[in-house]
Structure 1
Amino acid sequence: MLEFLKVNVEDLEEYMKVKIDAFSEDVRVYGFGPTGYDEMDKLREAIKKFPIYKMVLDGKIVGGMSCFNQGNGEFWLGGIYIDSAHQNMGIGAKAIRFLEQEFHEAKVWRLDTPYKNYRNHHFYEKMGYVKIGETEPRKDKGGFYLYLYEKKM
C-alpha cells in the first residue's frame, strides 16, 4: 500500500538516504545535485516551514516531495524524488495527483527540472505540465540550466 505522509524528525535519516539515492543520477550527469539536497540541517529546518511528504510503500520510505504556496493560487513543486529501486512504478504520477488533491486551491503549479533530464521532461508533460522557459546557463556550474514547467488547473 502506498501512502503520502508528512515527514517528521524521526524519519530524517531514512528520508535523506532515499533523497540522496534519487538524485544520484543527477550527480553522475552534472557533477552535483540540487542545492542542499543532501544537507540534514536544511531538511530539519524545511520540515518546520513547508509541507514535505514521504512516500511510504509497505511501511518503507521510497520517495519524497515538497511544495510551496506562493500565494494567489500559485504553487511551486519544490521536488519530487523516488529511490532508484521504485522508479517507473507509477508512484510519481500518484504523488502528483495527491498534491493536486491536497492543495485543491492551487490554480497554477510550477516547477523546474534539469535540461538533460529527459525522463523528467516526459513525465511532467504526461502529467499535463507545459514547458514555459529556461533559466540562464550558469557559468559556475559548467553551463547547467533548468527547464521551467507550468500546469494550469
Structure 2
Amino acid sequence: MKVFVEKANIDDAELLAEIQRDSFDDESRTYNNNEPGGPEGYDSIDSQIEFMKQAHYYKILKANEIVGGVIVYVNDSLVYNLGRIYINPIHQNQGIGHQVMKLIEANYPEVQKWWLDTPNWSISNHYFYEKNGYVKIKEEHGLFIYEKCRSVNC
C-alpha cells in the first residue's frame, strides 16, 4: 500500500505524541532491557508542537490514517538532520519506513548529506538505516551517528 507524507499541524500533535510514545517504547522494551523510553519530548504534546515550529514535521499517512511521523531539521549547509522517523508498531515491517525515506529524500533534492543518530542498542534501527543507504560513522554518548552522502564531494 502506498503511503504519503504531509506537513503535520497542531491538530495532529496529540496523536503524533501517542504514536511516537508507542513506537519508541516498543523499540526500547525490545532492545533495551525492557525499559520504556525515547528521546526528550517524544511523548509530549507540547514538544510535538515545538518540533513543528523548529523543523519540518511530517505526518505519515496510510489510507488517510496517520501511522507515524518524520522530523527534518533543515539548515543552510545542505547537510540535513533526519531528527526522527517513527511508525506505529502495528504498521511496522510493511515497507512504510522505506517508502517514507524515499519520499523525504525526494522532497529535498538539494541535500548533499543526511545525518541522524540512534541509540547503540536499537538493533532494528541500525538495520533499517543501513538498508536505506546510511553508513555508521561513529559512536558517541551511547548513540550511533549515521550519514548518507548524495554528492560526490561529501
Take 1:134 and 1:99, find their aligned partners in 2: how far apart are those partners?
A: 25
Cα offset, 1:71, TM superposition: 2.5
Equivalence for 2:18? 17
Flag structure 2 segments of 5+ consecutive residues without an equivalent.
none
Where has structure 1 moved over 3 Å in runs of 4 or more?
A: none
Take 2:41 and 2:74, find their aligned partners in 1: how far apart are those partners?
A: 20
Give aligned pairs, total.
Answer: 145
Cα offset, 1:43, TM superposition: 1.2
Percent identity (aligned): 38
Cα offset, 1:107, TM superposition: 0.2
**2:92 is aligned with 1:87:** yes
Alignment of 1:47-86 (within 5 A): 47-86=52-91
2:131 to 106, 126, 130: 126
Take 1:94 and 1:26, find their aligned partners in 2: how far apart are those partners?
A: 20
When the two structures are superposed, what TM-score results if normalisation uses the length of structure 2? 0.88
Matched position secondary structure for 1:12 = helix
Take 1:104 and 1:64, find their aligned partners in 2: how far apart are those partners?
A: 20
Q: In the alignment, residue 18 of structure 2 is paired with which amino acid?
A: K
- 1:24–1:32 CA distance, 2 compared to 1 (3 A): closer
- Quick one: higher RCO (CA 8 Å, sep 6+), 1 or 2? 2
When the two structures are superposed, what TM-score results if normalisation uses the length of structure 1? 0.89
- Of the structure 1 ranges 7-16 and 27-36, higher mean CA displacement relative to structure 2 is found in 27-36
